[in-house]
């Protein structure tokens, strides 16, 4: 049951040195609940001096934290995992309220984030180091060393899960981490700060700096921040990547997406129709793994007919939450209006979907399915980030692959078929970092890493899994030849 009560959280501060601290900036940002179109909190639009307070606290905490045994650092993750499990309802509720997800969706996203916490608990085994003889009496030992003070900047659409892609790996490897959450959805990040303290994390190892562009630019520019991870739109990802790396920082910036699902007539009808719907409409289409275009090769009408029937049963507020903001709602609706004017057939029109009576001011848009879409229309090429599925019809697999390959993004792609040969061909030729075979949302589970290609990512490596561990650490190689024993010791031999 999705029972989201309005709640006013008042002024929310930054989290620095293990406690809430008010900002040095007098500028604030209103946090609006998309269920109510009403302010539920304000956060500071933090400035460089706020960020510097967090950096100084982190620098002070770093030597002790980095010198702890990795088992002790992983212990905090064991504790965090059970605290998150115990408080699942509370965290999910905060996410629903500021992001607009249903409570069920919010819980699902937390559980996905928790998988990275679980992976972090295994780091004492994963990072046990390498050592071997490399010459006569000479050994080489390689260890992963923390970088120091590092930072992450995250988007609105997964307010807890995306920060949890970064926090567990960055801090368990011995870094001190500063998070700049989305100013639209800051509530759960602050709650995670409280959980980490309860889990035993020393003050200063984790901080939250609220804010927007000024705080992000400060993170890119601060001389004592060694690495920056970013997840958000490609335009900002590109800016953060170039600004951070220009100053010699390590940066990994994940951007936007346009993901295509290729459907062939031999695909299993029931699971394909359900898979297309879940992939395009989950999180109301506001996720970088949403496949927002289905490319039907030859006649897939039987699958589309079932998709439309399934979609008719979708209920706003139960199966799908809201859009994040009025601005986003208008932007998405414009894509639908324009596609209709260009000649798309609107099989299901989310603009007229019944809205939940109890949240009548919410930013609602129902399932929208557009058929007969031309590959060159904006709805087929650009990231819409809403519950809109465009269907392109084509005759050949080659054409389908050409459409997928020509898009400048490269996060994910999927193929629905019962033919092994087709599946192999599409998965080998897709220009995307994550590919699904009969899976519409091909998120690799830990320890496999998450990350796209092309303009869906700036920087090398992925954000989670072993690749994430590598991002947050430096390799140290010690080559040793032990000196001959001195005379004092020789007598014992
Ligand atoms: P966004 O780019 O607007 O914001 C992301 C972060 O950047 C926020 O913390 C925001 O405060 C900051 N920011 C925004 N404008 C800025 C500017 N001009 N200068 C400096 N910082 C700025 O993204 P969003 O709307 O919050 O999230 C949606 C986007 O995130 C979509 O494009 C989606 O595909 C992408 N996303 C990608 C992944 C992935 O794994 N590739 C995952 C989740 C979301």
pLDDT-derived band of residue 493, with 50, 70 and 90 as boundaries? Answer: low
CB of 254 shorter than 6 A to ligand 1: yes
Angle between helices 48-67 and 213-221 (to 10 degrees): 50
The answer to which of 127-131, 218-222, 244-248 has the lowest mean pLDDT is 127-131
Whether the per-residue pLDDT at 442 is higher than 70: the answer is: yes
Q: Please give the C-alpha separations between residue 436 and each of 275, 358, 405, in angstroms, as whole numbers.
A: 11, 38, 15
Percent of the chain surpassing pLDDT 90: 96
Q: What is the pLDDT of residue 59?
A: 98
- Kindly give the residue spans of alpha helices, DSSP state H, lying in 364-490: 378-381, 397-406, 420-429, 465-471, 487-490
Domain ranges of the chain: 14-255+456-478, 260-437
Mutate to test the pocket of ligand 1, among 113, 154, 233, 291 (most ligand atoms within 8 A of CB): 233
Burial per residue of 286-323, b for 16 or more beta-carbon CB atoms within 10 angstroms, e otherwise = bbbbbbbbbbbbeebeebbebbbebbeebebbebbbbb
Q: What is the mean pLDDT of residues 129-133?
A: 90
Name 31's Cβ contacts closer than 8 Å, sequence gap at least 6. Answer: 9, 12, 39, 40, 41, 42, 43, 98, 183, 184, 185, 186, 187
Q: Whose CA is nearest to atom 23 of ligand 1?
A: 232
**Which residues are designated catalytic?**
288
Whether the per-residue pLDDT at 69 is higher than 70: the answer is: yes
**Which among 286, 281, 289, 338 has a CA at the least distance from the CA of 310?**
281
CB of 285 shorter than 6 A to ligand 1: no
Ligand 1 atom nearest to CA at 154: 9
| CATH number of this structure's domain 260-437 | 3.40.309.10
Distance 288 CA to ligand 1 centre (A): 11
Whether the per-residue pLDDT at 427 is higher than 90: the answer is: yes
For residue 408, count other CB atoms closer than 10 A to its CB.
Answer: 13
Q: Give the CATH superfamily of 14-255+456-478.
A: Aldehyde Dehydrogenase; Chain A, domain 1 (3.40.605.10)
Q: What is the pLDDT of residue 3?
A: 85
Give the chain's mean pLDDT.
96
Question: How do residues 483-492 score in pLDDT, each as one tens digit?
Answer: 776 667 766 7
Q: What is the pTM of this model?
A: 0.97
Ligand 1 atom nearest to CA at 240: 20
Q: What is the CA radius of gyration of the chain?
A: 24
Range list of β-strands (E), 233-288: 250-254, 259-263
CB of 213 shorter than 6 A to ligand 1: yes
Name 107's Cβ contacts closer than 8 Å, sequence gap at least 6. Answer: 88, 89, 92
Question: What are the tokens at 411?
Answer: 């996060």
Distance 279 CA to ligand 1 centre (A): 20
Mutate to test the pocket of ligand 1, among 109, 180, 236 (most ligand atoms within 8 A of CB): 236
Rounded to 10 degrees, the C-alpha dihedral 181/183/184/185 comes to 30
């Amino acid at each position: 049951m999705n029972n989201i009560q309005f709640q006013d959280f008042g002024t929310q501060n930054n989290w620095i040195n293990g406690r809430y601290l008010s900002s040095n900036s007098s500028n604030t940002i209103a946090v609006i609940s998309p269920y109510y179109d009403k302010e539920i909190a304000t956060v500071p639009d933090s400035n460089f001096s706020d960020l510097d307070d967090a950096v100084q606290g982190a620098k002070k905490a770093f030597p002790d934290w980095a010198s702890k045994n990795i088992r002790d650092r992983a212990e905090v993750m064991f504790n965090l995992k059970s605290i998150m499990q115990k408080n699942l309802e509370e965290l999910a509720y905060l996410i629903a309220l500021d992001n607009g997800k249903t409570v069920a969706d919010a819980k699902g996203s937390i559980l996905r984030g928790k998988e990275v916490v679980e992976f972090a608990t295994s780091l004492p085994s994963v990072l046990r180091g390498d050592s071997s003889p490399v010459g006569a009496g000479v050994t080489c030992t390689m260890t992963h060393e923390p970088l120091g003070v590092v930072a992450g900047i995250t988007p609105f659409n997964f307010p807890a899960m995306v920060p949890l892609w970064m926090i567990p790996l960055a801090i368990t490897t011995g870094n001190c981490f500063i998070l700049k959450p989305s100013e639209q959805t800051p509530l759960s990040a602050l709650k995670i700060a409280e959980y980490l303290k309860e889990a035993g994390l020393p003050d200063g190892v984790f901080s939250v700096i609220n804010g927007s562009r000024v705080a992000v630019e400060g993170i890119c520019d601060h001389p004592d921040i060694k690495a920056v991870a970013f997840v958000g739109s490609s335009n900002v990802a590109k800016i953060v990547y170039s600004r951070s790396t220009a100053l010699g920082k390590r940066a990994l910036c994940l951007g936007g997406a346009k993901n295509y699902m290729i459907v062939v007539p031999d695909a299993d009808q029931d699971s394909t129709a359900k898979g297309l719907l879940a992939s395009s409409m989950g999180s109301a289409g506001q996720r970088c793994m949403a496949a927002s275009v289905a490319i039907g090769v030859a006649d897939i009408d039987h699958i589309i007919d079932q998709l439309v029937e399934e979609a008719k049963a979708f209920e706003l507020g139960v199966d799908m939450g809201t859009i994040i903001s009025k601005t986003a709602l208008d932007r998405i609706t414009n894509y639908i209006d324009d596609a209709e004017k260009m000649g798309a057939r609107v099989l299901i029109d989310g603009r007229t979907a019944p809205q939940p009576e109890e949240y009548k001011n919410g930013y609602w848009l129902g399932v929208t399915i557009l058929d007969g879409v031309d590959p060159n229309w904006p709805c087929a090429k650009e990231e819409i980030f809403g519950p809109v599925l465009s269907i392109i019809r084509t005759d050949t697999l080659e054409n389908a692959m050409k459409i997928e390959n020509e898009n400048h993004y490269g996060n994910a792609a999927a193929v629905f078929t019962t033919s092994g040969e087709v599946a192999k061909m599409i998965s080998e030729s897709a220009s995307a970092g994550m590919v699904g075979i009969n899976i519409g949302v091909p998120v690799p589970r830990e320890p496999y890493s998450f990350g796209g290609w092309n303009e869906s990512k700036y920087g090398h490596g992925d954000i989670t899994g072993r690749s994430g561990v590598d991002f947050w650490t430096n390799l140290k190689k010690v080559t040793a030849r032990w000196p001959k024993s001195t005379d004092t010791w020789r007598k014992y031999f």
